[in-house]
Amino acid sequence: MQKFITLAQIDEIADQIRKRVAVQPQIAMILGSGLNGLADSVQNPVRIPYSDLPNFPVSTVQGHAGRFVVGELEGKPVIVMQGRIHYYEGYSMGETTLPVRVMHRLGAHSLFVTNAAGGVNENFVPGDVMLITDQLNLMGMSGLNPLMGPNLDEIGPRFPDMSQPYDREYCNLARKVAAENKLTLREGVYAGLSGPSFESPADLRFLRLAGADAVGMSTVPEVIVARHGGMRALGLSGISNKANLDGSTVTTHEEVIEAGRVITPKIETIVRGVLRGL
Ligand code: HPA
């Protein structure tokens, strides 16, 4: 595969999907580790495995199914990624975010992202849901920005604004839905690291000082690419474990998946409510 993703490559994949579905999706969704369940609620679903699509990256992580599900949720046409692509799987930043480009080209004007994250804010407990209000692009700061390479001028500007990565109206809607359903909704800054190793106690102390409330291995590049194309973003983190600043406990992928079982219904309530309110 070439180094940078081209518009032709994006459109070739989008055309393949278009041939198989009747609806034009408006909302794109990416579901995080252990949070896949919502994709099974999509009505009139057309399921397209990533492996059916030309030059499409395939997710290799346990808890990620690896397919698009196109259909309706709360009456809105959606395209859902049941399983995301992570940079740590060995793909380039462009490949990692290629699905966002494809969903945008298919007509999606908004991106809803969910992820499993470690709670850095000391008030957070496993099972909490955090509305992402801003993000720390630590991958970008170390030279890994998905927009590197020739700019796709047809999609967005060379130097896109990032003053509002997460849409304020969507945030307000999510707060309202959470209140109506008596769900505690935490809020804060999501820090994106490449992974796959979890953070050391020193990493976590650094993140806390830097103003992070949650930390994970995804989302930030996806939201940058979405904003580049003018998509509006909503982000929800499921807090699967507490940051371990003194090294007294270990973090495992199993606990991340397990916490997903508690978090999934909360995220589903919020996502459904926001969709209804659009
Ligand atoms: N760190 C990074 N990513 C994660 C974590 C964590 O503690 N939990 C779930 N995803």
Cα of 136 from ligand 1 centre, angstroms? 15
Could you tell me if the CB of 97 is within 6 A of ligand 1?
A: no
* Topology adopted by domain 7-277: Rossmann fold (3.40.50)
pLDDT tens-digit readout, 142-171? 889 999 999 999 999 999 999 999 999 999
CA of 216, closest atom in ligand 1: 3
Residues ≥6 apart with Cβ < 8 Å to 101: 5, 10, 152, 155, 225, 229
pLDDT (mean) for 128-141: 95
* The pair of three-digit structure tokens given for residue 265, joined into one six-digit string: 């219904």
User: Where along the chain do its domains lie?
Assistant: 7-277
Q: Is 0.85 topped by the overall pTM?
A: yes
Q: Are 204 and 120 in contact (CB under 8 A)?
A: yes
Q: What is the pLDDT of residue 2?
A: 46
C-alpha distances (whole Å) from 195 to each of 117, 129, 199, 237 are 12, 21, 8, 16
In sign, the C-alpha dihedral spanning 30, 190, 170, 159 is: negative
C-alpha distances (whole Å) from 3 to each of 9, 15, 53, 146, 222 are 12, 22, 19, 12, 18
Cα of 149 from ligand 1 centre, angstroms? 29
pLDDT tens-digit readout, 1-48? 447 999 999 999 999 999 999 899 999 999 887 677 888 999 999 999
pLDDT tens-digit readout, 229-274? 999 999 999 999 988 777 777 778 887 777 888 899 999 999 999 9
Q: What is the pLDDT of residue 247?
A: 78
Cα of 72 from ligand 1 centre, angstroms? 30
Could you tell me if the CB of 203 is within 6 A of ligand 1?
A: no
C-alpha distances (whole Å) from 18 to each of 28, 109, 155 are 14, 16, 19
What distance in Å separates the CA atoms of residue 218 and residue 144, rounded to the nearest whole number?
A: 12
Q: What is the pLDDT of residue 186?
A: 98
Q: Are 28 and 79 in contact (CB under 8 A)?
A: yes
Computed over every residue of the chain, the mean pLDDT equals 92
